[in-house]
Amino acid sequence: MDEWKPNPTVKPHKKRSWYLAWKFKLMNQRALRKLCQTGAVLFLLVTVIVNIKLILDTRRAAYEEEEESAQDYDDEMLNVEVPRHPVNNKKVLDVEVYSSRSKVYVAVDGTTVLEDEAREQGRGIHVIVLNQATGHVMAKRVFDTYSPHEDEAMVLFLNMVARGRILIFTIKDEGSFHLKETAKNVLKSLGSQVAPFLSWRDMWTFVGKKGGEVYGEKHAKSPALSTWGDPVLLKTEVHLTSVEDAECHWPDTELNRRRKRFCSKVEGYGSVCSCKDPTPIEFNPDPLKDNKVFDVPVAVIAGNRPNYLYRMLRSLLSAQGVNPQMITVFIDGYYEEPMDVVELFGLSGIQHTPISIKNARVSQHYKASLTATFNLFPDAKFAVVLEEDLDISVDFFSFLSQSIHLLEEDESLYCISAWNDQGYEHTAEDPSLLYRVETMPGLGWVLRKSLYKDELEPKWPTPEKLWDWDMWMRMPEQRKGRECIIPDISRSYHFGIVGLNMNGYFHEAYFKKHKFNTVPNVQLKNVESLRKDNYETEIHRLLGEAEVLDHSKNPCEDSFVPDTEGRVYVMFIRMEQEADFTTWTQLAKCLHIWDLDVRGNHKGLWRLFRKKNHFLVVGVPASPYSSKKPPSVTPIYMEPPAKEEGAVAVPAVAAAEQT
Amino acid sequence: MQKINRNVVLALLSLASLIFLLFQLCYYKFYLSQKNGAAFSKVRGSQSGQDSTRWHVVRKFLGLISSHNIPVYLIDPLILGLVDKDIEQIRSSPDGPSSECKYFCAPRDFTTFALLDKTWKHEVGLFRSAEKMGFQWLKIINKDPRLDGMDDLSGVEIPLHYIFKLASHAIHLVVFYERSGNFLWHGPLRLKQRMDRKFVPFRKLHFGRYPGAYEKPELLLVSIDDLKVQIPKNPSSFLDEMSHSRFLECRYREARAFFQMYPDDASLDAVEFRKKGKSLLHLAALTLNNLGVKFWLSSGTCLGWYRQCNVIPHSKDVDLGIFIRDYKADIIPAFQNAGLPLKHKFGKVEDSLELSFQGEDDVKLDIFFFYEEDDHIWNGGTQAKSGKKFKYLFPKFTLCWTEFVELKVHVPCETLQYVEANYGPEWKVPVKMWDWKSSPFNVQDNGVWPIDEWDNVIQIY
C-alpha cells in the first residue's frame, strides 16, 4: 500500500482513482468506518475546490474594481499630446543678425526672435540678451539713441546684465546721433571694434559675450549724409556653456529657487540676480496693529511693462501691513515676463485675453479684473485697485486701515483714493490731513463691492465703446454726487513714463513733482470729521478762522500769500455757476498744479497749501460757502488767454484720460 | 500498519482541509472588510496590527500639518459617524484620556481631512517634510471654477485634493474654497494622464466623485484617541449635509455660445430687471432658508441658469419650486414680514398649490408646489377667471446645489430633462411671448375646480 502515500497537492482526477481503489477495500472493512473516511475525503475535496474558486473569483473582482475605479475619476479632457521640445543638447547656436534702414531681425538657430519692419517705429539700437547655457531670449530692448538720453538708459541696462550673457546688437534706421562717448565706451568694453566710430546712418551688428569673447561684428558706413549704409547681415556661431556655469550658487531655499527660475529666464532687473549679494525678494515689513484692511483683496492691473511691475510690487510688498496672499496681479495679454515677475515675488497672477483696442481694451481689462477679484474673494466688501506704474507709500495700508470704515458707513462716499491730484511738492504739506473731493482721482483706490456689483458691473461700457473706464466712472450718471476721500499728501506715486496716454513731457509737467508720503505710521487726524455732515461743520470752522487775503494783489505772485507758516488763508474767485471753472483753471495754471480739467473740488471749494499755510479757494457765487465772503471783497476773475484756449482744450482731453 | 497509515493520512487530510477552511474564512473576511469598510473586525487580535497603523499614520499626519501651521479639520464620514455616537461625552471632556483606540483604529482605507484654502498658501515646505516622514503624496489640480465664468481669463490651476500615503493607510485632504454666495466648495477628483491610477483605490474615497457645496462649519477642538483634532461642531448635521452636497457648475461655455448666437440684452431695462430679480431671489432665499424650507429654481429662472447662467431679462418674474411635503403654513406670513405681500394663492395643499408674491416694481415671485407620484412629479396651475386646472408633468429628479447670482441654491440635478420637459427640445431658442397655459411643453388640462371651492382655491389680492 505504498501508493497510498498522502499527497496534498493531488489533482481531482487522481483522487477519483483513489476513491475507486478505496471503494474496492470497502468490502473488507466495517461500513461505518468506511463511511466516515469517505466523508472526510469528500469534505477535503469540496474544500479544495471551493477555495480555489473563491480565490479566483475575488481576485478577478478586485482586478475589475481597480480598473473601474480609475475610469470614474478620469479627467474628461481630450488626450492632447503636448508637443515636447526635443532636449537640446546642441552646444552651438547659429545666430543671424540683420541691420538696415527699414528692417532688423535676429534669428537664433533658425527661429526669428526679433523682427521689426514697421515704419516710423523701432528706430535706434536693438539689444537682445541670450542665456549663455540655453540660448533662450532673456531680454529684448530698443534704445532710440537718435534721441537724447536714450543712450544713458542703454548704459544702465547693459550694466545690469549679468556677466557671461550673450548680447546681440543691431541698428535700425539711425542709432548714433545721440550716442555719447560713455555709451560708446561701454560698447567698446564689450569688445566692439566699430562702436567708437559709429556715425550718422551707419548700419551695425554685433554679437558678443558680456565680459568675454566676441562672436562677430559687421558694419556698413553711410556714404553720404542723405543716404544710409548698406544693409548688413551677420552670421555667426555661439558656443553654449553648461547650465551650472550660467547660474549663481545661492543657498537652496524656497526663495532662492524662485530667484533662480526668474534669473535664468529674464535679464535687466539688476541686483535681484546678483550672484554675490542679491537684493531680497521678501520684505517682511512690520505688521500693522489692528489692521482693518488685512483681508481686503488687492488687484494690481498690469500690462506689458514688467520693469514697472517689478518696481511697483517691490514697493507694495514693502508697505507696512501688506498681506501678500490677498494680492492678485491681472496681466492684460499673454505676456511671459510680467508673469515671471509675479512669480518671482510668489504672488498669484492671472492673464487676460485682450478684448477690443486702446482705451476700450484697458476698460475691459479693468472690468474682468474687478469681477475676478470679487469672485476669488467672495467675502470681501472692498477691493484695493492699483496699477503697475505706481509706487506705494510705506503707510498706504495704515492710511486705508484708518479710513476704510468711512467707506463702509457713509453712503455719500464713492471711493477712497491714495492720490491727491493737486498734491504737488509746493502745494501739499500735512500727511495726517484728509479731504473730501467730488472728483475720482484713481491711482490707488478702494472700491466698495456693492458699488461695483450693483451699479458699475451691470452697465460697464461694452467693448465696442472706446471709453476710458475712469472717465466713465467720473460721469454724473455713475458718480451720482458721491465723493471720494483723499489725503493731502498722496500715498501713491505715478512713475510711469510710457503708457497709453503718457509720454515723457507730460509726465515731467504733471506727475514728476507730485508729493509722496515717506513717513511710516502717520496717525490721521479727525477721521470722523470726513463724514458728510461733519465735513460741512469742519469747513465752516475753517472758513471762520481763515484770514481773507488781499484781493488787490495778483494771486499768481508768491507775495499773494504772506511769509507765514501754519496759518489758514482764504481767497475768493469768480465762479458764475457750478460748472464755471474759468478763473480756477487760470489760477491752477499759474500755481503749476493740475489744470487740464477740474480736480479736487468740493462744492466750489479747493483746499491746498501755499508756503506751509492752508490755502482755501472759494468760487463765488456758485459755492455755498460764498456767504463767508466779506461784502467788501470782489472775487478775483482771471481771463483765459484768448488764443491758447483752443490749444489747451485738446491736451485736456488726452490728459484727463490717463489719471 | 495499514490501519495506522490510513488514520494518519486521514488526519493529515482533515488538518489540511481545516487550514484551507481557515484561510478561506480569513480571506473572505479581509475582502469583505475592505469592501464595506464599516464592518468592525470581530477577531480583534488578528487586526490589531493594522488598527494601530491607521492611528499612527493619522498621528504622523497631524504632527506634520501642525508643524506647518495648517488648520485642517476632520471630515471623515466613518469616524465622524462613530464620534457622533459619543458626542456628548467627547464635548464634555475635551482632554479626557481614552483608554482604547476607538475611532482612529476603525478599519478603513482612508482618513479624510478638510483644509480651507484661504488659511494656507505656502505648500512647498509641507511636501518636503512629508517626504522626509515617509509619506508619498499626490496632488490633484484643476481649473479655478471661480474664474470659469470669465472666458477671457486664464486663471492658474488650483489644488483640489491631496492624498498622502504611508504604509497601508492614506490621508485624503480635501481643499475647500470660498465661493460667492457665502459657501464652501470642493472640486471633483479627476485623474489626469500619466497619473498613477493605482496610487490608492480612488473609488473608495468619500469625497471627489462630484464637486460639493457646504456651509461654513463651526469647528470644535476635541481630543479623541489621544489625538487633538478639529471636527465640525455638529457631526450629525455635517454628515447629513454631506449626503446631499453634490454641486453643479453652471455651463459657462454653453452660456457663452448662447450669447454668441443671441447677444445679451444690455439695455437699461434689462439691467434694472436683472438687478431686481437678483435682489428678489436673495430675499426669497433668505426667507425660505430661515424657515428651513428646501426650494429650487424652477421654470424660467431655472432655464436662465441652465441656458445663460443669468436671469433672463425678459422674464418678468422669479420662479421657485418646493416639494409639497416641505410646505409650511408659515411661508405666507414669513414673506409678508419680508415685505412681499401675497398676490394670489391658487389651489390647496392637497392639490395644485401655487403662491405668488408681489416684489418691488412689478417683479413677481411665483412659488410652485410639486407633488410626487410613483413615476413622475407634477405641479398645478389654475386660471383665475374660468377656474380651469392645469397640470405640468416632470420626470423624477433629485436636487443639487449650484451658484447663481451670488447665491447658493438648489436646482434639479437632472436639469436637462427638467428643462426639456418644461420647454421642449427647442429650449435653447429664446421666446419672448410666453403663455403659461399653452406654451409649456408638459402642460395638461386637469379639469375645473368645483364652483363651491372657488373661494378657497382662487384667492386674488
Is B401 part of any domain? Answer: yes
Which listed residue (A173, A332, A470, A595) is catalytic? A470
Read off the pLDDT of each residue in A241-248 and give the average, rounded to a whole number: 83
Read off the pLDDT of each residue in A82-102 and give the average, rounded to a whole number: 73
Domain boundary among the residues B220, B245, B270 is at: B245
Please answer whether residues A422 and A487 qualify as being in contact, where contact means their C-beta atoms are separated by less than 8 angstroms. no
**Vertex B149, ends B147 and B152: CA angle to 5°?**
75
What pLDDT was estimated at residue A89?
57
> Which residue range forms the structural domain that includes residue B188?
47-245
Please check whether residues B181 and B144 belong to one and the same domain: yes
What pLDDT was estimated at residue A268?
86
DSSP output for A550-597 = -TTS-TTSGGGS-S-SS-EEEEEEEE-STT--HHHHHHHHHTTS--SS
Is B395 part of any domain? Answer: yes
Please answer whether residues B84 and B145 qualify as being in contact, where contact means their C-beta atoms are separated by less than 8 angstroms. no
Read off the pLDDT of each residue in B184-202 and give the average, rounded to a whole number: 87
pLDDT in tens, B263-309: 888 788 888 899 899 999 999 999 999 999 999 999 999 999 999 99
Interface with chain B: mutation pick from A261, A376, A457, highest number of B CBs within 10 Å: A376
What pLDDT was estimated at residue A426?
94
pLDDT in tens, A35-64: 777 777 787 787 778 777 777 776 666 555
Give the whole-angstrom CA distance, residue B6 versus residue A299.
90
Cross-chain CB nearest to A350 (options B149, B153, B198)? B153
C-alpha cell at A473: 466712472
The per-residue pLDDT of chain A, averaged, comes to 86
Phi, psi of A94 (to 5 degrees): -90, 125
Is B257 part of any domain? Answer: yes
Assign A545 to helix, strand or coil: helix
Residues 189-248 of B with CB under 8 A from A: 189-193, 197-198, 201-204, 208-209
Interchain pair B154, A351: CB under 8 A: yes
B31: confidence class by pLDDT, cuts 50, 70, 90: low
Is B440 part of any domain? Answer: yes
Q: Hey, which residues does A100 pair with through a beta bridge?
A: A172
What pLDDT was estimated at residue A648?
44
What pLDDT was estimated at residue A603?
94
Complex ipTM? 0.78
pLDDT in tens, A457-499: 988 998 888 889 999 999 999 999 999 999 999 999 998 876 6
Please check whether residues B153 and B269 belong to one and the same domain: no
Please check whether residues B277 and B425 belong to one and the same domain: yes
Q: When comparing pLDDT for B43 and A147, which is higher?
A: A147
Read off the pLDDT of each residue in A332-340 and give the average, rounded to a whole number: 92
A347 to chain B, minimum CA–CA distance in Å? 10
C-alpha cell at B429: 431658442
Share of residues in chain B with pLDDT > 90 (%): 51
A321 to chain B, minimum CA–CA distance in Å? 17
Domain total in chain B: 2
A15 to chain B, minimum CA–CA distance in Å? 12
Q: When comparing pLDDT for A82 and B255, which is higher?
A: B255
Is B356 part of any domain? Answer: yes
Please check whether residues B360 and B212 belong to one and the same domain: no
Interchain pair A54, B27: CB under 8 A: yes
Exposure class string for A560-573: b at 16+ Cβ within 10 A, else e? bbeeeeeebbbbbb
pLDDT in tens, B217-233: 999 998 888 888 999 99
Read off the pLDDT of each residue in B381-385 and give the average, rounded to a whole number: 89
Please tell me the number of Cα atoms within 13 Å of B54 on its side-chain side: 19
Read off the pLDDT of each residue in B92-115 and give the average, rounded to a whole number: 79
Domain boundary among the residues B245, B265, B291 is at: B245
C-alpha cell at B403: 451658484
What pLDDT was estimated at residue A500?
66
Is B151 part of any domain? Answer: yes
Please check whether residues B256 and B191 belong to one and the same domain: no
pLDDT in tens, A528-545: 999 999 999 999 999 999
Domain boundary among the residues B210, B245, B280 is at: B245
Q: Is A72 a catalytic residue?
A: no
Please determine, for residue A11, whether its predicted confidence score (pLDDT) is greater than 70. no
Please check whether residues B98 and B164 belong to one and the same domain: yes
pTM of the predicted model, to two decimals?
A: 0.80
Please check whether residues B256 and B241 belong to one and the same domain: no
Please answer whether residues A584 and A577 qualify as being in contact, where contact means their C-beta atoms are separated by less than 8 angstroms. no
Cross-chain CB nearest to A459 (options B124, B146, B271)? B271
Please answer whether residues A582 and A556 qualify as being in contact, where contact means their C-beta atoms are separated by less than 8 angstroms. no
Exposure class string for A34-62: b at 16+ Cβ within 10 A, else e? beebeebbeebbebbeebeeeeeebeeee
Cross-chain CB nearest to B191 (options A40, A50, A73)? A73
The chain A residue lying nearest B140, using CA atoms, is A75
Q: Is the CB of B182 inside 8 Å of chain A's CB atoms?
A: yes
A21: confidence class by pLDDT, cuts 50, 70, 90: low
Please check whether residues B230 and B269 belong to one and the same domain: no
pLDDT in tens, A322-333: 999 999 999 998
Read off the pLDDT of each residue in B9-34 and give the average, rounded to a whole number: 72
Is B383 part of any domain? Answer: yes
Please check whether residues B234 and B352 belong to one and the same domain: no
> Which residues of chain A lie closer than 8 angstroms to B202, CB-CB?
69-70, 72-73
What is the count of residue pairs from A and B with beta carbons less than 8 Å apart? 140
Give the whole-angstrom CA distance, residue A38 versus residue B246.
60
> Which residues of chain A lie closer than 8 angstroms to B141, CB-CB?
none
Please determine, for residue A77, whether its predicted confidence score (pLDDT) is greater than 50. no
Residue-range domains of chain A with CATH: 92-245 (no CATH), 298-527 (3.90.550.10), 531-628 (no CATH)
Q: When comparing pLDDT for B4 and A433, which is higher?
A: A433
Amino acid letter, A437: V
> Which residues of chain B lie closer than 8 angstroms to A66, CB-CB?
198, 201
Please check whether residues B194 and B108 belong to one and the same domain: yes
SS (H, E, C) chain B: CHHHHHHHHHHHHHHHHHHHHHHHHHHHHHHHHHHHCCCCCCCHHHHHHHHHHHHHHHHHHHHHHHHCCCCEEECCHHHHHHHHHCHHHHHHCCCCCCCCCCCCCCCCCEEEEEEEHHHCCCCHHHHHHHHHCCCEEEEEEECCHHHCCCCCEECCCEEEEEEEEECCEEEEEEEEEEECCCEEEECCCCECCCCCCCCCCHHHCCCCCCCEEECCCCEEEEEECCEEEEEECCHHHHHHHHHCCEECCCCHHHHHHHHHHCCCCCCHHHHHHHHHHHHHHHHHHHHHHHHCCCCEECHHHHHHHHHHCCCCCCCCEEEEEEEHHHCCCCHHHHHHHCCCCEEEEEEECCEEEEEEEECCCCCEEEEEEEEECCCCEEEEEECCCCCEEEEEEECCCCEEEEEECCEEEEEECCHHHHHHHHHCCCCCCCCCCCCCCCCCCCEEEEEECCHHHHHHHEEEC
Read off the pLDDT of each residue in B426-450 and give the average, rounded to a whole number: 87
The per-residue pLDDT of chain B, averaged, comes to 86
Please check whether residues B227 and B263 belong to one and the same domain: no
Q: Is A389 a catalytic residue?
A: yes
Q: When comparing pLDDT for B316 and A108, which is higher?
A: A108
Please check whether residues B400 and B266 belong to one and the same domain: yes
